[in-house]
Amino acid sequence: MNRIFQILLLNFALTLCACDMPSILDDGSQQESRSQEAPILLSVEITGGIAGVNQQLRVDIQGKAVFNDQSIQRKSWTNQLSDSELDSLVNLFLINDYFQLEDRYFDPQVADAFHYAISFTHDEKTKVVQTDNFGAPENLKRIVEGIHALIDEVRNTGLELRLELSGDELLLGDTVDLTLFVTNSRTTPVTLHFSSGQSFDFYARVASADRGAIVWNWAHDKAFIQVLRNVDLEAAETRSYQVTWDGRDNRGRFITGEVFAGAELVSVPGGSPAEKRLTIKSAEDE
Given 112, 140, 156, which residue is the final one in a domain?
156
Q: Residue 89: how many CA atoms within 13 Å on its side-chain side? A: 28
Query: Per-residue confidence at 238, pLDDT binned at 50, 70, 90?
Result: very high
pLDDT of residue 73: 72
Task: Decide if 8 is inside a domain.
Answer: no
Rounded to the nearest integer, the mean pLDDT of the chain is 88
Same domain (yes/no): 255, 206: yes
Contact in structure between 154 and 65 (CB atoms under 8 Å): yes
- Mapping DSSP to helix (H, G, I), strand (E, B) and coil, where does residue 212 land? coil
**Cis, peptide link before residue 189, omega less than 30° from 0:** no
Q: Could you report the per-residue pLDDT of 164-198, keeping only the tens digit for each? A: 999 999 999 899 999 999 999 999 999 999 999 99
pLDDT of residue 35: 45
**pLDDT surpasses 80 at 211:** no
Same domain (yes/no): 242, 204: yes
Task: Decide if 234 is inside a domain.
Answer: yes
Q: Which among 190, 215, 188 is positioned nearest to 203, based on CA atoms?
A: 215
Same domain (yes/no): 167, 141: no
Contact in structure between 58 and 37 (CB atoms under 8 Å): no
Same domain (yes/no): 119, 202: no
Q: Which among 23, 45, 43 is positioned nearest to 33, based on CA atoms?
A: 23
**pLDDT surpasses 80 at 284:** no
Partner residues linked to 130 by β-bridges: 104, 117
DSSP state of 144: H
Query: Per-residue confidence at 16, pLDDT binned at 50, 70, 90?
Result: very low
pLDDT of residue 285: 65
Q: Could you report the per-residue pLDDT of 53-100, keeping only the tens digit for each? A: 999 999 999 999 999 998 767 899 999 999 999 999 999 999 999 999
Q: Could you report the per-residue pLDDT of 103-123, keeping only the tens digit for each? A: 999 999 998 999 999 999 999
Task: Please give the C-alpha separations between residue 116 and each of 83, 137, 222, in angstroms, as whole numbers.
Answer: 26, 14, 37
Same domain (yes/no): 148, 174: no
Same domain (yes/no): 101, 183: no
Same domain (yes/no): 178, 243: yes
281 CB-contact burial (10 Å; exposed 0-12 / middle 13-18 / buried 19+)? middle
Same domain (yes/no): 180, 140: no
> In CATH, what number is assigned to the domain containing residue 76?
3.30.1560.10
**pLDDT surpasses 90 at 31:** no
- Mapping DSSP to helix (H, G, I), strand (E, B) and coil, where does residue 139 land? helix
**pLDDT surpasses 90 at 280:** yes
Number of domains within the chain: 2
Q: Whole-angstrom Cα distance, residue 70 to residue 147?
A: 18
Same domain (yes/no): 119, 44: yes
Same domain (yes/no): 151, 162: no
Contact in structure between 255 and 173 (CB atoms under 8 Å): no
> In CATH, what number is assigned to the domain containing residue 277?
2.60.40.2360
- What is the pTM for the complete model shown? 0.84
What is the arithmetic mean of pLDDT over 132-137? 98
Same domain (yes/no): 141, 55: yes
Same domain (yes/no): 85, 193: no
What is the domain range of residue 280?
A: 158-286
pLDDT of residue 71: 74
